[in-house]
Amino acid sequence: MKNYILPVDEKGINHSLASFLGRMLTEGIVGMIMAPADAGSGKSVIMSMIKPEGLKWINPFAPVTMANSARLVSDLTAREAPGEKIGVFMRSCETRALIELAKHNQANLDNIVIIGMDCMGTLEPADYSQLRESGEFKAGDWMAASTAGEYKGKNIRRACSVCGHVEAEHSAIHLGWVGIDHSKNVLVSVSEEYSDWVSSFLEAAGQPVVEGRMKLLEEIVSRRDENKIKLYEEMAERAGSLEGLLKELSGCIRCYNCRQVCPLCFCRECVFSSDMFRHEPDYFQERAGRRGIMAMPADKLLFHLTRINHMALGCVGCGQCESACPGKIPLGIIFKMAGEKLQGIFDYLPGRSLEEETPLSTYREVELEPR
Amino acid sequence: MEQLKGKEIATTGSVMVVGAGISGMQAALDLAQSGYRVYLLDRRPSIAGTMPMLDKTFPTNDCSMCILSPKVVDIGSHLNIEVITLAEVVGLEGVPGNFTATVKKHPRYVDMDLCVSCGRCETACEQVVRNNFNQGLDTRKAIYKPYPQAYPNAYVIDGESCLSCGSCVGKCPRKAINLEMQPENVQIAVGAVILSPGFEIFDASERGEYGYGIFKNVVTSLEFERLLSASGPFQGHLVRPGDHKEPKKIGFIQCVGSREPGRERNFCSGVCCMYATKEAIVAREHVPGLASTIFCIDVRAYGKGFEQYYERAMGEYEVRYVKCMVSSINEIPKTGNLLIRFRTDDGVLREEEFDMVVLSVGLSPPKEASALAGALGIELDEYGFCRPGESPGTTTRPGVFVAGTFAGPKDIPETVIDGSAAAGCAARILNDSRGTLSRSKPQVEEKDVSGENPRIGVFVCNCGINIGSVVDVPSVVKFAKGLRGVVFAEEFLFACAQDSIEKIKRRIKSQKLNRVVVASCTPRTHAPLFMNVLREAGINQYLYEHVNIREHSSWVHRNNPDRATVKARDLVRMSVAKVAKLSPIETTFTEINKNCLVVGGGASGMTAALSLAEQGFGVHLVEKEEKLGGLLAQLRYSMEGTEPSEILAGLTEKVTANPAITVHTGSEVSYAAGFPGNYRTTIKAGDSEEEIIHGAVILATGAAGAQTSEYLYGDSGKVVTQTEFEKKMAAGELKGIKNVVMIQCVGSRNADRPYCSRICCTHAVKNALKIKEQRPGVNVYILYRDVRVYGLNEKYYTEARRLGVGFFRYDTDKKPVVTQSHDGLVVEFDDHVTGFRLAVDADMLVLSTGVDPARDNEKLSQLFKVPLNAEGFLLEAHLKLRPVDFAADGLYLCGLAHSPKLLSESIVQANAAAMRAASLLSRDKMENVAITAFVQEEMCAGCAICVRVCSYNARYMDEFTGVAGVTEVLCQGCGACVAACPSGASQQKGYEKGQMMAMMREVL
Amino acid sequence: MFGIEKERIWFRFISASEGKLFGRTVEEMVAVLKKLGPNPVRKQWEI
């Protein structure tokens, strides 16, 4: 990756970025750009734009992810690679999820240009909407305050507070602002393929800029790791026993929101929506009969354990499941904990590389050894 | 003469196979599968020969019984194989194609149709005798079954030991025992005979100095196999027979009854070095830290993967090999330990103490060899092995063929190859009567039961007392009657007895059953029997569930009958729940194209092509060079005295003259597609391409003579390879030479090429003998690491030494040194006997450079999707039992493409590959595996994991729909894709998720 | 990590030829489970 400086003009970071992206469209670098934008109502939505005019709405640094954009790339490309290049704004968790989807033929990266950006975490969507609607949200303020992990009394999502990924991996073009004076500059890092184009209108970044930023990133990661250890301990205390886990899951109403928003849950028909779990009526009587009592809806534990079983190897820890849960079940952390354990056994890191085969489709003799 | 009329007389479409060991079994299966009726004889009460006695097999360490059982089951269930045990051939009249064999059947004293192997007779019998199966390490009764998996699955009375007391007769609930049975002679008309009677082990007591039979802790290698085996006398706990203590230090003595010209055993048994190595490895797995020492002359690890196995034994398992002569063994009376006295190369006599000694006994011709030879009118060689006819696999009597160790000592894969090759020889002369005597299953129209409510019948077996004495069978029947969907339940004393089978068939009809559950013994042996009952009753055979309440209930919970009964009920309940959800599975067939593609026009490819053409199949023979011949064209001499050039000319002429063979020289395969029975392959010659359609493929692409730059090769004209030397000799270019030095293992058995090239030692000896014959005055020095002239070729090694050829061993850390002086070459090396350093002025230095895999193998492996081993040779489906097959049907291999081997071995393997192909091509259609995977398309997300995990290339992505599919012809039903599918879209017929969940719900 | 004792779930690689080992492993597992007693899951009504 080569580093360049995108100067921020007096109209702000989004305006400067819009003109950068405008060039991408008009100069044919990409044919479409998909980016988080303001819907005017104070909500953030993801929009696909093919004309530069639409770019005035973009607001990618807003600390909110309404949906994991990996799923959207899957929608755009799963059946067939798009005919022209599409630039997609993505955070780290999204790029890693995208890699996992691509491994499973659920996305085709051939014409996808990942425009990655630094992510210091996002707020719960409701919190963000509230700040926006009350007019309290200022992008610049958030960016300045973000390294603290808290903004105007709202915490970043729990999954983000333990996330060690600030930069978005696998980016073709990456926008860095953490550890940069982002009122003046954005650090644009680009892959070989785009460096000629970018160098035609941007200045190269000096070494000190980059070095200072790297140091800060390391600090953030180690702080997040500390948070993680603390949170894992706390969660092991809460959900590390069967009683504890059942207590945590007791709020589940099997609304399947977690399944719906999970970027990796790509089955076309979930087994839990299939006939297999449409029980015969006497099934309930028999189940209840065994212990004299049973919780409804049935199969809550089985549903979540099955999902963990299915997703843990690929879980990138984005925490969307937790944000979408009406029962506030700490699913994100439970999944991440289980995931990291399992991934460790197979020395597998989801989202690390497209070439890394999923443990399910490979076999190594060491797997026979007890661990 | 009738023979002269040629094709006009019809031959007899049946073959007698004498000896039902692994090679006889292979021959029988191949012939039966390709439309011949087979009479498979064995003098023993059960089939399968020696292999069931072995614990594990080298170099894969597979369990011998486990890999063998499926073949035994295939034999037992084949309609066209009649197994005749306790039988011998006493006469053979007639001519090739039309023989009448006289067979003497010895009495079994047990009616096999009635006996269900319940074992009550054995309990009743009081006569305890030596158990031959366990090599006398324990005992059995006079009425016995040789081992639990024995086929035929029936008891037998050992007439020699039986006291005729009759106590078993009354105990038999099936009245199967008849002590009045008499021997009888029967006459059987057959078109050809294959002899595969196997071998005896050398009687170790003939070597008195080893104390076998006197010292209890000296055992034979076969006894040691039984000691290691989980089914052996000590259940696989390794102890020494003397005091049942675990040995910590074992000595193996090699060549006991092998390589002993003085004892008229001037041959190498070919297998002992490797089985001793295996036994040492397995022993160490049983007893951690166990130290094994193998006392040997040479280590003959010459087969595919053997050298690597030997290296592993030395490295990973710390097996010590000591090259020496063992002079005696003495017992230390107090401890039962043994003192081995041996003389090493340096002439020093040493002694070492061991807890146990294993004698690696050699292979002898079978006991009945001379009687057999007399009855059949064939000749034996000087040791009593079968004397070969004009080509490998033939005997001195036309129409009588030989396979396996009766033709000379050899390992299991060669034995299996022999079996297929002999079958091929028989099929070649019986082409016109193929299919005339074979039988096929009668077709029964299948009733459509879809839409019917389940009407389940449950049949529960007592298995004599095996189940009934523990499990309360009547209560299981009563319980079953109350289960949902069950309309009928009944108990049987023996459900598998013929009368019970008929009864079940009647019940299916009278009770209008559409699903059946049988609760009895293991489904492995018995499920096919009951599924066939359904088929014959007009019900789809997959509407069946088998419950094993013997192994899973009565046997494991013998001491807790109440709980065993509860478990039996639970198991029945589970299967009833599952059977209710089953749907019929259609058996599908693939049409088979009758042509075969043979890639490679060397000795192997031409042999295979001829065999197939003579069996009536069309052949496309593809050779990349402009001329046929391959490496055979480079040979000038053979050990046996036949002229390689004559063999080549003969083969080439026959191949080119045969109208069924289309020869494509100067051609290569450029594209291959399709599946067994229907391949489409593009052959490219220059710029032109031709597509051919064929049912099978034989890869006979050969190998390359390896090159070297060692020992001044290329720098001095006096340094040549073994092949170049042979050519010079034939061209008479060696006039005036006095000293010839040969260096073995040049480029073989090292880090770059870890395998042994197998042929070099034999070639060196062959060329040494030739030069001695041409110029007796020439001195020949052969510098070797191990002399690997195996099997019956040992006699040539002996002959070379007798003629004064000098053999000097060198170690890899002290290789010979070659220097060029002003007047010639000087080769310096150590004499391992005297310890002196010798220097020889060599007029000719001959390097045995070994064999390299063909460069094209990589490409072929991709084209036909077949695997290569680490060294780059094609890798067969199983090193022991499927030596010429690839995993998928329709793909076969032979010759040097498989691994280095001698010409005669290549020819046998080519015959075998042709026969394997013929056994497919002779069928009009092939029954596909029924229990295959299928896709619930609406659930498939197209992730393609199934495609990646499938070992049979049976899974694919439909590019149009983006959904995965199954090529049913290729699917073997292994279930890997079903387990891997993240969406539950891949399912296994007969094991669908809903069916399995129904079962699990009943047990949870 | 969900509070089910590690001793209640076993993974062992046993080849089809190792009947003895399989038997031994089952016996071992039964002994361990007998010591552990019934699985507490059975007492949970909410699963």
Question: Tens digits of per-residue pLDDT, B258-280?
Answer: 999 988 999 999 999 999 999 99
Confirm whether A70 is domain-assigned.
yes
Read off the amino acid at residue B930: A
Question: Tens digits of per-residue pLDDT, B494-550?
Answer: 888 878 888 999 999 999 999 999 999 988 778 988 999 999 999 999 999 999 999
A181 and A96 in a common domain: yes
pLDDT score recorded for residue A123: 92
Q: Which of B866, B891, B905 is nearest to B598 (CA)?
A: B891
A221 and A74 in a common domain: yes
**Bridge partners of A77?**
none
A110 and A18 in a common domain: yes
pLDDT score recorded for residue A232: 94
Pick the CATH number of B1-106+183-199+366-443 from 3.30.70.360, 3.90.25.10, 3.40.366.10, 3.50.50.60: 3.50.50.60
Whether A75 has its CB under 8 Å from any CB of chain B: the answer is no
C-beta atoms of A268 and B982 within 8 A: no
Confirm whether A185 is domain-assigned.
yes
pLDDT score recorded for residue B65: 84
Give me the count of residues in chain C: 47
Q: Which fold has domain B932-988?
A: Alpha-Beta Plaits (3.30.70)
Question: Tens digits of per-residue pLDDT, B422-465?
Answer: 999 999 999 999 999 999 888 889 999 888 999 999 999 998 77
Confirm whether A234 is domain-assigned.
no
C-beta atoms of C19 and B230 within 8 A: yes
Q: What is the share, in percent, of chain B residues with pLDDT greater than 90?
A: 84
**For residue B159, pLDDT beyond 80:** yes
Question: Tens digits of per-residue pLDDT, B45-74?
Answer: 999 999 999 999 999 888 888 788 888 988
pLDDT score recorded for residue B4: 43
Q: Quick one: pLDDT band at residue B166, thresholds 50, 70, 90?
A: very high
**For residue B910, pLDDT beyond 80:** yes
**Which residue in chain A is spatially nearest to C5 when comparing CA positions?**
A241
Question: Tens digits of per-residue pLDDT, A122-169?
Answer: 999 889 888 888 888 887 788 888 877 677 888 899 999 999 999 999
| CATH number, domain B107-182 | 3.30.70.20
A187 and A152 in a common domain: yes
Mutate to test the interface with A, among B939, B986, B1002 (most CBs of A within 10 A): B939
Cα–Cα distances in angstroms (integers) from residue A174 to residues A1, A17, B399, in the given order: 9, 12, 80
Q: Which of B937, B878, B888, B886 is nearest to B913 (CA)?
A: B886
Cα–Cα distances in angstroms (integers) from residue B787 to residues B299, B641, B753, in the given order: 8, 21, 18
Q: Return phi, psi of residue B820, to 5°.
A: -105, 120
In sequence order, which residues have a C-beta less than 8 Å from that of residue A165 and are 6 or more positions away?
A: A92, A93, A96, A119
Query: How far is the alpha carbon of C36 from chain A, nearest alpha carbon, in Å?
Result: 16
Whether a cis peptide bond, with omega within 30° of 0, leads into B152 is: yes
pLDDT score recorded for residue A370: 66
Token output for B247: 């040995």
A133 and A14 in a common domain: yes
A222 and A244 in a common domain: no
A256 and A201 in a common domain: no
Range of the domain at A345: 240-368
pLDDT score recorded for residue C19: 72
A299 and A171 in a common domain: no
Sign of the Cα torsion A141, A146, A147, A149 reads: positive
**For residue B3, pLDDT beyond 50:** no
End of a domain among A202, A227, A252?
A227
pLDDT score recorded for residue A295: 83
**Which residue in chain C is spatially nearest to A341 when comparing CA positions?**
C1
C-beta atoms of C1 and A291 within 8 A: no
Please name the chains neighbouring A, where neighbouring means 3+ C-beta pairs under 8 angstroms. B, C
pLDDT score recorded for residue A182: 87
Q: What is the share, in percent, of chain B residues with pLDDT greater than 70?
A: 99
Query: What's chain B's average pLDDT?
Result: 93
What is the domain count for chain A? 2
A203 and A90 in a common domain: yes
Please name the chains neighbouring B, where neighbouring means 3+ C-beta pairs under 8 angstroms. A, C
Q: Which fold has domain B456-581?
A: Rossmann fold (3.40.50)
Q: How far apart are CA B510 and CA A91, in angstroms?
A: 70
Whether A50 has its CB under 8 Å from any CB of chain B: the answer is no
Pick the CATH number of B202-364 from 1.20.1600.10, 3.20.20.70, 3.50.50.60, 4.10.93.10: 3.50.50.60
Mutate to test the interface with A, among B983, B986, B999 (most CBs of A within 10 A): B983
The answer to whether A314 touches A350, Cβ cutoff 8 Å, is: yes
Pick the CATH number of B706-850 from 3.40.50.10800, 3.50.50.60, 3.20.20.70, 3.30.1280.10: 3.50.50.60
**For residue B661, pLDDT beyond 50:** yes
**Which residue in chain B is spatially nearest to C42 when comparing CA positions?**
B1004
Q: Name every chain B residue with its beta carbon within 8 A of the beta carbon of C17.
A: 56, 62-63, 65-66, 230
Query: How far is the alpha carbon of A126 from chain C, nearest alpha carbon, in Å?
Result: 31
Residue B552 DSSP class: I
In sequence order, which residues have a C-beta less than 8 Å from that of residue B147 and are 6 or more positions away?
A: B46, B52, B133, B231
Average pLDDT over residues B943-964: 90
Question: Tens digits of per-residue pLDDT, B750-759?
Answer: 988 999 999 9
Q: Quick one: pLDDT band at residue B106, thresholds 50, 70, 90?
A: very high
Question: Tens digits of per-residue pLDDT, B629-646?
Answer: 999 999 999 988 888 999
A221 and A267 in a common domain: no
Q: Quick one: pLDDT band at residue B2, thresholds 50, 70, 90?
A: very low
At B248, is the secondary structure helix, strand, or coil?
A: coil
**Bridge partners of B359?**
B220, B253
**Alpha-helical regions (H) of B469-522:** 473-481, 498-510
A283 and A201 in a common domain: no
Confirm whether A32 is domain-assigned.
yes
C-beta atoms of B65 and C17 within 8 A: yes
Q: Which of B941, B945, B984 sits opposite A360 (nearest CB)?
A: B945
C-beta atoms of C3 and A291 within 8 A: no
Question: Tens digits of per-residue pLDDT, B847-859?
Answer: 999 999 998 899 9
pLDDT score recorded for residue B691: 96
Q: Quick one: pLDDT band at residue B887, thresholds 50, 70, 90?
A: confident
- Say which residue the tokens 């049949």 belong to: B459
End of a domain among A177, A196, A227?
A227
Q: How far apart are CA A228 and CA B500, in angstroms?
A: 68
Confirm whether A85 is domain-assigned.
yes
Residue B394 C-beta-side C-alpha neighbours within 13 Å: 13
Please name the chains neighbouring C, where neighbouring means 3+ C-beta pairs under 8 angstroms. A, B
Q: Return phi, psi of residue B743, to 5°.
A: -115, 125
pLDDT score recorded for residue A298: 85
- CATH 3.50.50.60 domain extents, chain B: 1-106+183-199+366-443, 202-364, 591-702+854-926, 706-850
Q: Measured in whole angstroms, how far is the alpha carbon of residue B807 from the centre of its chain?
A: 35
Query: How far is the alpha carbon of A106 from chain B, nearest alpha carbon, in Å?
Result: 6
Q: Which residues of B257-391 form beta strands (DSSP E)?
A: 291-296, 320-332, 337-344, 349-354, 356-361, 363-364
B989 against A281, higher pLDDT? B989
Question: Tens digits of per-residue pLDDT, B717-769?
Answer: 899 999 999 999 999 998 889 999 999 999 999 988 999 999 999 999 999 99
Read off the amino acid at residue A11: K
Number of H helices, E strands in chain B: 23, 51
Q: Return phi, psi of residue A203, to 5°.
A: -80, 145
Q: Quick one: pLDDT band at residue A241, thresholds 50, 70, 90?
A: confident
Question: Tens digits of per-residue pLDDT, C12-34?
Answer: 888 766 777 888 899 999 999 99
Q: How far apart are CA A128 and CA B88, in angstroms?
A: 92
pLDDT score recorded for residue B784: 97
Q: How far apart are CA B301 and CA B786, in angstroms?
A: 9
Confirm whether A232 is domain-assigned.
no
Query: How far is the alpha carbon of A292 from chain C, nearest alpha carbon, in Å?
Result: 8
A67 and A216 in a common domain: yes
| CATH number, domain B591-702+854-926 | 3.50.50.60
